[in-house]
Amino acid sequence: MEVKITHNEGKTFVKLNGRIDSTSAEQFQKDINPLMEGSDPDIDIDCTGMTYTSSQGLRMILLLQKSVMARGGKLVMRNMNPLVKEVFDITGFSNIITIL
Amino acid sequence: MSWKIIGIVTVISLVAQIATAVVSQIIIAKEMVRTPELDKHPWEILHYSPHMHIALIVIILSSFAVMFFVCRRVISRMSRPVELMESDIILARKIQMGMLRKDFPPYIYALLEPAREVGGDLYGFHQKGDQLYFSIGDVSGKGVPASLVMAITSAILRFVVELDMPLDETLVRINNSFAATNRTGMFATLFVARIDLKTGHMDYCNAGHNSILIIPPDAEPYFLKSKPNIAIGMFENFAYEAEQFDIKPNTRLVAYTDGVTEAERSDLSQYGNGRLMAWAKNLVETGQSTSLQEKDIVESLYASVKTFVNGNAQNDDITIASIKLSPKEMVDNSQTVKQSETSAQKIINSNVEIMTKKRFNPIVDKTSEIVEYLMASPDMPTDEALRFKIGLSVEEAVENVVRYAYDGGIGWLEAGTDLNHDSLVLTIELRDAGMPFNPLEKPDPDINLPANEREVGGLGIFLCKKLMDSISYRYEDGNNVLIMKKKLVNPVGTTDNKQAV
């Protein structure tokens, strides 16, 4: 999973490309670590290239949402493909994260 | 022992002599009182009394008689322990040889000749379903101490087969219990293997034992390489590593102990690996490798060793075992068990699942590999959405086993698929021998909680439940068995599978 992070006008923009599964989970966790602490807690994640996530990915996204909320920010995920979106729906994540 | 006898005999004869002297004095005194002939020498008095002669002779004879009988009893009591030990040893040998199975199925034969009445070599085999468990080993030393350890190790190995433990874990546990209580510095080399008689797949773990000789049907014999695991009983917590090897049909495995390679002849030269390899090559060259049965093969090697030592005393236990899988017992790995079916077979087969499966061992970090194997199965659909859901469910279930089933992560996982062509229901089975755990027992996460109250765990199995049509668990024969099913119907309603025409 490729994680590209940019900052613009006080917001954090993230572009995801690839899969979060058992092979890439550890690396993904390291890649999103900076997002857990940064000073721009408004995070916009472009999921166009995100093809797959396992429960490990969901877990890390949940932790990210918790930390964003604690810092008074907002997490938005956009352009999710329908298969991945279905996973977010089933697990109730669509209710706790803004998915556009 | 003989000093004791001499001592006792001396004491008894001294006592006899003193008694004789004392009694003689009393008789003389009595005689003197009765016939007071003061001028006569005491001996002369004695001389004139026939009664006294007889009395003296009787006393001396009886004291010797007493001495004789006492000595005989003492000697017999002392020698009895020796006789008892001999018959105990013979009994121990009977017990030990009785522990070695001799009811060989056609594909295996083994021979064990102890150097003394009892020995430290061992072999064992047990067939459980299609799996053959085989072990061969050599406890350091000879005689009674080695045979005790041999008996314990044999019993543990037999017990372990029932538990279906992974091989490396088996050796770790045996080694730890052995090493923890080992005060005598004894150790044992051990080779254990589990061979799938249908596929020829072998999991093995070699703990310091001689390399197995592989005799292929159409190539040079060679020694099977193995990781340098140490003999058991030396250090606690040694991390034994198991390995895998695929036995092709008609390949022979010959296992042996160093009673073979270190057999000595009178000039102190040893049989050695060189002669062993030469024997194997000769078998192949003369065509005997193809024509002979396992019993003949084993006896051939034994004869070769005996010829070499040429009458020299056997100083170590000799064990030889031979295993050969023939094609009629095996199924080629690359084929699935699906052939054109008669309608009768179809009915039977639709009820009985014939799984294509594979065992993975070890499984650490192998989640992706196992998922890839399953998703590549011809039973899997081509529809992207179905593959996504099935793939995700499979990954979550497999990851669960890889992460949590085994203590320390050492163990095996068997994964298989089956497609019922009539109902189009895909079945996926995951089997492991880890700690009994039913993943379905866990309550579902509450998906309506707000973010700050949501827990991070429990999502994996929940996803399986939601994405697959059904999921069930049972604990069977020491294994966790998880079954997931999905009907291969795509959202439009038409059926989907690769074989559909």
Contact assignment for B459 to A97 by CB distance below 8 Å: no
Contacts of A39 (CB under 8 A, 6+ apart): none
* Bridge partners for A65 per DSSP: none
Spatial distance between the Cα atoms of B407 and B168, rounded to a whole number of angstroms: 12
**Angle, vertex CA A61, rays to CA A58 and CA A62, nearest 5:** 85
Predicted confidence at residue B73, as pLDDT, reads 82
Q: Is B462 on the interface with A (CB under 8 A)?
A: yes
Sheet holding B188-196, edge to edge: B121-128, B131-139, B188-196, B201-207, B243-246
Check A54 against B454: CB less than 8 A apart.
no
pLDDT reading at B347 higher than 70: no
Question: Which of B94-108, B164-178, B202-216, B324-338 is predicted least confidently?
Answer: B324-338
Of B40-44, B58-62, B133-137, B417-421, highest mean pLDDT:
B133-137
Residue B28 has pLDDT above 90, yes or no: no
Closest CA of chain A from B305, distance in Å: 53
- Given a cut of 90, whether residue B308 has pLDDT beyond it is yes
More confidently predicted of B401 and B356: B401
B412 contacts: CB under 8 Å, gap ≥ 6? B166, B203, B359, B360, B361, B362, B363, B432, B433
| Residue B302 binned pLDDT confidence (cut-offs 50, 70, 90) | very high
CB contact (8 A) between residue A91 and residue B452: no
pLDDT tops 50 at residue B332: no
Which phi and psi angles does B424 have, rounded to 5°?
60, 30
The residue type of B112 is L
The domain limits of chain A are 2-99
Taking only Cα atoms into account, the Rg of chain A, rounded to an integer number of angstroms, comes to: 12
Q: Cα–Cα distance between B125 and B112 in angstroms, integer?
A: 13
Mean pLDDT of B247-254: 92
| Closest CB from A22, A66, A92 relative to B452 | A66
Choose from A19, A29, A54, A62 for mutation: most chain B CBs within 10 A.
A54
The amino acid present at B139, given as its one-letter code, is V
* Full-model pTM: 0.46
Give B 146-165 residues with CB within 8 A of chain A.
none
The Cα–Cα gap between B409 and B404 comes to 7
How large is the average pLDDT for residues B125-140?
Answer: 88
3-state secondary structure of B211: coil
Phi, psi (degrees; rounded to nearest 5) at B117: -60, -35
Put simply, whether A96 touches B (Cβ < 8 Å) is yes
- Residues B175 and B207: beta-carbon distance below 8 Å: yes
Of the candidates A54, A63, A91, which has its C-beta nearest B395's C-beta? A54
What is the spatial distance between Cα B168 and Cα B174, in angstroms, rounded to a whole number? 10
Peptide bond into B445 cis (omega under 30): no
What is the pLDDT at residue A77? 95
DSSP state of B453: G
End-to-end CA separation in angstroms for chain A = 21
**Residue pLDDT, tens place only, B387-396:** 999 999 999 9
Residue A53: is its pLDDT beyond 90?
yes
DSSP letter, residue B234? S
Predicted confidence (pLDDT) per residue in B266-298, tens digit = 998 999 999 999 999 999 888 888 888 899 999
Nearest to A65 among B399, B451, B466 (CB): B451
Give the DSSP H or E segment for B14: helix B2-34
Pair B410, B468: CB distance under 8 Å: no
DSSP A35-59: HHH-S---EEEEEEEEEEE-HHHHH
Residue in A closest to B388 by C-alpha: A83
Separation CA A69–CA B435 (nearest Å): 39
Q: With contact defined as beta carbons under 8 Å apart, do B314 and B96 qualify? A: no
B490 band by pLDDT with thresholds 50, 70 and 90: low
Q: What is the pLDDT of residues A80-93, one digit of tens each?
A: 999 999 999 999 99
| Exposure b/e, A78-92, CB count within 10 A at least 16 = b | eebeebbbbbbebbb
Rg of chain B over Cα atoms, rounded to whole angstroms, equals 38
Side-by-side strand order, sheet with B222-223:
B108-113, B318-324, B252-256, B213-215, B222-223
CA angle in degrees (0–180, nearest 5) for B219-B272-B302? 80
Domain locations in chain B? Answer: 2-88, 100-329, 343-487
Is B399 close to A54, i.e. CB distance below 8 A? yes
Centroid of chain to Cα A80: 11
Predicted confidence at residue B163, as pLDDT, reads 77
In the predicted model, is pLDDT for residue A71 greater than 70? Answer: yes
* Type and span of the H or E element at B319: strand B318-324
Q: Is the pLDDT of residue B493 over 50?
A: no
- Among B29-33, B99-103, B233-237, B304-308, where is mean pLDDT lowest? B29-33
CB-closest option in A55, A90, A97 to B460: A55
A62: chain B residues, CB-CB within 8 Å: 451, 454, 456
Look at residue A46 in the predicted model and tell me its pLDDT. Answer: 95
Percent of chain B exceeding pLDDT 90 equals 34
Class of domain B100-329: alpha beta
A90 closest CB neighbour out of B384, B385, B466: B466
* Residue A10 clears pLDDT 90, i.e. is over it: no
Alpha carbons B481 and B501: distance in angstroms, whole number = 33
> Topology of domain A2-99, per CATH?
Transcription Regulator spoIIAA (3.30.750)
Q: Please indicate whether the domains covering B100-329 and B343-487 agree at the CATH topology level.
A: no
For the cut 60, the answer to whether the pLDDT of residue B345 exceeds it is no
- The class that CATH gives domain B343-487 is alpha beta
User: What sign does the CA torsion over B113, B117, B119, B124 have?
Assistant: positive
Interface of A with B in 25-44 (CB under 8 A): none
Q: Which residues of B12-29 are buried (b: 16+ CB within 10 A; e: fewer)?
A: beeebeeebeebbeebbe
What does the mean pLDDT of chain B come to?
82
